[in-house]
Copies of this chain bind each other. A is one copy, B any other.
Amino acid sequence: MKELKDLQLLIDNAVTRLNYPVYPAELYEPINYILSMGGKRMRPALLLMACDLFGGDVEKALPPALAIEVFHNFTLMHDDIMDNAPLRRGRVTVHERWNQNAAILSGDVMLIEGYKLMMQVEDRLLRVILDIFNKTAIGVCEGQQLDMDFEVRNDVKIDEYIYMIRLKTAVVLGGALKIGSILGGADMKDAELISEFGENLGLAFQLQDDILDVYGSPEKFGKQVGGDIISNKKTHLLIKALELADANQTIELNSWITLKQFVPQEKVTAVTSIYNTLQVRQYAETTMHTYADKAFEALEKINLPEENKQYLRDFADGLMVREY
């Protein structure tokens, strides 16, 4: 089996070989720009990994893997407009560097280019692969819409939150693994199982991210602690806290949420203190473990040699942090 970092490198090199026209410049330059920003290339690497695990040729799976990466970057380009984000991976976003219209239209072209790449598969697989791609793409758009809807609601339930992050972040991991496995020769049963593995692992990973944002050590994870608290992001922790809070805690939480002027560290400390009292971290961890367990259960059912399953187990273990 090929190592993950080698697969990521394969993608990185293939991305630089994507050759978009130079004219009209404002349409294609943003595409080259956002694709050159790098990132971990995790989604396309997962596609190649699944293909490899089922005995397929990763070179032949490169165009669909690139399709997933181009599609992912299309969603980033449009999400950044919607979220009004000035920066992405430390660099100026497309709508800021060019303008909003360029970001809309270049994003549209990326979605179409994603289809063109995804079509570079054998005829007999074309329809099944595109069906998965369509379903994944619609899911991601629905997830983004729900994420925006939830920003202006204070009554979001945990189930709704799980439903949203499943669509916004998990289905594309499942979809990438599913497509890769089919390209590698998996039957539909195994393709479904590896998709289930990826989707549930994606959920567990997102929940871990929620927890680490508050409880992770900044030295280890290189992120500002409490960023989600500062921006009122409706994570598992906040939703659970709003659900469990008594009258006084509700007032305190809502006053921090609505406050426009505040010292960030004070807000983080105060909200974290409520989280601690309500033990919301434990609830989030329980949910996280539920989905990690589901992922491992699906994995065990896949019809693959023990060695290949161990590869997937190691990969999942690597994603899930043991110490904070």
Binding site for B on A (CB under 8 A): 24, 26-27, 78, 81-82, 101, 104-105, 107-109, 111-113, 115-116, 119, 123, 126-127, 130-131, 134, 137-138, 141-142, 144-146, 148-149
Contacts and interface: CB of A to CB of B under 8 A. Distances in A.
Contacts of A26: 145, 148-149
Copies in the complex: 2
A134 B115 contact: yes
Nearest to A24: B145
Nearest to A143: B24
**Most chain B beta-carbon contacts within 10 A, residue among A24, A107, A113, A138:** A24
A303 to B, nearest CB: 27
Contacts of A144: 105
Nearest to A144: B105
A81 B109 contact: no
A118 B304 CA distance: 36
A141 B82 contact: no
A141 B127 CA distance: 25
Given A130-B115, A130-B119, A108 B149 contact: no
Nearest to A75: B108
A138 B115 contact: no
B112 A137 contact: yes
Contacts of A81: 101, 104
Nearest to A111: B111
Given A108-B111, A138-B109, A141-B112, A146 B24 contact: yes
A122 to B, nearest CB: 10
Contacts of A104: 78, 81-82, 104
